[in-house]
Amino acid sequence: MRQPEPLEIGVMFWAGGDPAATLQEVKSLGVRCGQLGIPGTMPLNDAVTAAWKQALEAEQFTLVTVFAAYDGESYADIPTVQRTVGFIPETTRAEREARTYAISDFAAALGVPSIACHIGFIPEDPANPDYKAVREMVRRVADYAARHGQTFALETGQEPARVLLRFIEDVARPNVRINFDPANMILYGTGDPIEALDLLGPLVISVHCKDGDWPPRDRPGALGTERPLGQGSVGIRRFIQKLKQLGYRGTLNIEREVEDREQRLADIRTAVRLLEQIKAELA
Ligand code: MG
């Protein structure tokens, strides 16, 4: 696969339909690289892998990350995320670990250098049994990914930057990195994303360009609201400027999670133009 330019604009998108048609739709937004999410219920087998490999070659499209999502996850509100997402729920840990290995194998077959997921809310207390179980699981996944020469990126947002940093230091695996999503820090109310980037910068291997507003103060447990890029509280220009200052050389992956397909595509098109403009201004 072609190596993307530093700060090349990409899109975070999801598998499910025909791979070639999916890539053609993403390319119609004006990008040639991105991150592929695999829904938790999607079968992963040799036929699926072969179809993606062929489509990526035919469309000359570069994947920088394969993202794992897991069956049974829900992002309805913060307590539901705590209960259902990532490596935290005890009853699904074994099946999600096996699934993550399958994602790593799939990514390796496509020549993708990084896998990623939300591991869920990391408890602040290292003595918490969930903390220890998740740390051991992250170590095993990291070691598995390392055998494929991959990084394993943890998505930000569900805990404050200092908690994530301490956890990663405790995991102590050189290929564990961060997929930094500035909007998540706001949506979950965990802290200012630009300050967080100062702390986490050296570990950031990939980013989401997503925007959003803080949670409503009168509804405890509610998430903030995602917004089209440039219309939320992230300060996307400041975000790109900070990435440049830190010497980030990965791609800028636009993520838009609004349900309506047409709206999502229109918002991503607008976001591509916004990022092009910001990059030109900062060049
Ligand atoms: Mg994200």
pLDDT tens for each residue of 133-165: 999 999 999 999 999 999 999 999 889 999 999
The domain segmentation of the chain, as residue ranges, is: 9-282
Q: What is the pLDDT of residue 96?
A: 98
CA–centroid distance, residue 181 to ligand 1 (Å): 5
CA–centroid distance, residue 173 to ligand 1 (Å): 22
Contacts of 99 (CB under 8 A, 6+ apart): 40, 68, 70
Tens digits of per-residue pLDDT, 5-27?
999 999 999 999 999 999 999 99
41, 10 contact by CB (below 8 A): no
Q: What is the pLDDT of residue 157?
A: 86
Fold type of domain 9-282: TIM Barrel (3.20.20)
Residues around ligand 1, an ion, CB closer than 5 A: 181, 208, 255
CA–centroid distance, residue 155 to ligand 1 (Å): 7
CA–centroid distance, residue 156 to ligand 1 (Å): 8
Tens digits of per-residue pLDDT, 82-112?
999 999 999 999 999 999 999 999 999 999 9
Other Cβ atoms less than 10 A from the Cβ of 251: the count is: 24
CA–centroid distance, residue 241 to ligand 1 (Å): 19
CA–centroid distance, residue 166 to ligand 1 (Å): 21
> pLDDT at residue 1 above 90?
no
CA–centroid distance, residue 184 to ligand 1 (Å): 7
CA–centroid distance, residue 271 to ligand 1 (Å): 15
Distance CA 81, CA 159 (A): 12
